[in-house]
Structure 1
Amino acid sequence: MTTPDSVSDISDDIVAFIPALRAFGRSLTRNANDADDLVQETLMKAIGAAHSFKPGTNLRAWLFTIMRNTFYTNANRARRETTGAADCVSGLVTTPDTQEWSVRGRELMEAVDRLPHQFREMLILVVMLGESYEQSAVICNCAVGTVKSRVARARAMVIEDLGDSGPQRRSA
């Protein structure tokens, strides 16, 4: 059983993972506001269930698992609910990028967004968030070989998707 002191200790440790949770939440929801809501819900669940965390295990993987499960639970719930009016278009106002790296970065992220969910999730966990194959397998509840295969296929799909419009290599 976890004591009240260890619950506050784990709460302090959880705060260090908020940036990584926000990045993973953004990859799942594809929306900054929804990602912030998902992070908040994840943090509330994690702090509320701090007594069930086993010291010595990977806190980051535990938090990512909570977030992933929360996301899928919310997605399933949303599928059963009827939606209201479309979101306000004022939230979609953007300024066009003027710098080459911004354009290329957006093209890359759009290519990643077009990936099938299981490939996108693995690519973001391993390549963008720096999770190991082993920890990604724990988070997604699958075999390490599946993680490696999906990351390799995701990379290939992104390269193929970008084709000639991808970043140009400079000759030395």
Structure 2
Amino acid sequence: MVDDSLRDEMVAAIPKLRAFPISLTGNSDRADDLVQDTVVRALGSINRFDRGTNLNAWLFTILRNLFHSEYRKREVEDADGSFAARLRTHPDQHGRLDFKAFRAALATLPMDQREALLLVGAQGMSYEEAAEVSDVAVGTVESRVNRARTRLSILLDLTCEAELGPDDLTKAALASG
């Protein structure tokens, strides 16, 4: 049995939980399935959660593990990009074109870099929280985010920090690129 306050915290975390797999998969139905599976697993393992610790990090860790398990099962070889090219639609406006270019560039990043960038950049987690979710050292997350931003700045031909974000890692990525 889950107490009301913990249940309310879990429900409040669902929108952020949902945004993460949407960014990783690009598919809202898969994202919803992953979030549902995450909540079911969390409720089934609620006795393992230590009250007073970071519930969001615990839930994101469960979600991340579920995603990676599913990803390994569904991974499709697409070395030349022909499969991905068939899945694309042509957007109507410039913002959608920019977003399409960003998503395509994001998809080329190694999974560990993409995940770190999404946790820190899209989810707004601190490097410490992202490290906890990913079960790696804080420096590893910083490194992955830096490499991801550097690669994206090259792929998207970005030249100023305002185009990527204001933190010191972004400045360093642009300076080195």
Q: Report the TM-score, using the length of structure 1 for normalisation.
A: 0.77
**Partner SS for 2:50:** coil
Separation (CA, whole Å) in 1 of partners of 2:98 and 2:88: 20
Separation (CA, whole Å) in 1 of partners of 2:116 and 2:67: 15
Q: For residues 54 and 162 of structure 1, do their structure 2 counterparts lie closer, same or farther at Cα, with a shift above 3 Å needed? A: same
More displaced 10-residue stretch of structure 1: 67-76 or 41-50: 67-76
Separation (CA, whole Å) in 2 of partners of 1:10 and 1:51: 12
Do the aligned partners of 2:2 and 2:43 also contact (CA within 8 Å) in 1?
no
- Report what 1:68 is aligned to: 64
Q: How does 1:121-132 map to 2 (within 5 A)?
A: 121-132=115-126
Q: How does 1:75-154 map to 2 (within 5 A)?
A: 75-76=71-72, 78=73, 94=89, 96-154=90-148
C-alpha RMSD of matched pairs (Å): 2.2
| Aligned-residue offset at 1:93 | 8.3
Per-residue CA deviation, residues 6-29 of structure 1 (Å, 9 max, x unaligned), is 2x3212111111111111112333
Q: Does 2:11 correspond to 1:25?
A: no
| Aligned-residue offset at 1:97 | 2.1
Separation (CA, whole Å) in 1 of partners of 2:38 and 2:146: 29
AA matched with 1:97: P
**Partner SS for 2:5:** helix
**Partner SS for 2:157:** helix
Q: Percent identity?
A: 44
Q: For residues 93 and 74 of structure 1, do their structure 2 counterparts lie closer, same or farther at Cα, with a shift above 3 Å needed? A: closer
Per-residue CA deviation, residues 121-149 of structure 1 (Å, 9 max, x unaligned), is 00100011101000000000101001001
Q: Which runs of 5+ in 1 are unaligned?
A: 80-91
Separation (CA, whole Å) in 2 of partners of 1:72 and 1:16: 24
Separation (CA, whole Å) in 2 of partners of 1:149 and 1:139: 16
Per-residue CA deviation, residues 14-52 of structure 1 (Å, 9 max, x unaligned), is 111111111111233332221111111001111222222
- Report what 1:43 is aligned to: 39
AA matched with 1:149: S
- Report what 1:161 is aligned to: 155
**Partner SS for 2:37:** helix
Count of matched residue positions in the alignment of Structure 1 and Structure 2:
148
Higher gyration radius (CA): 1
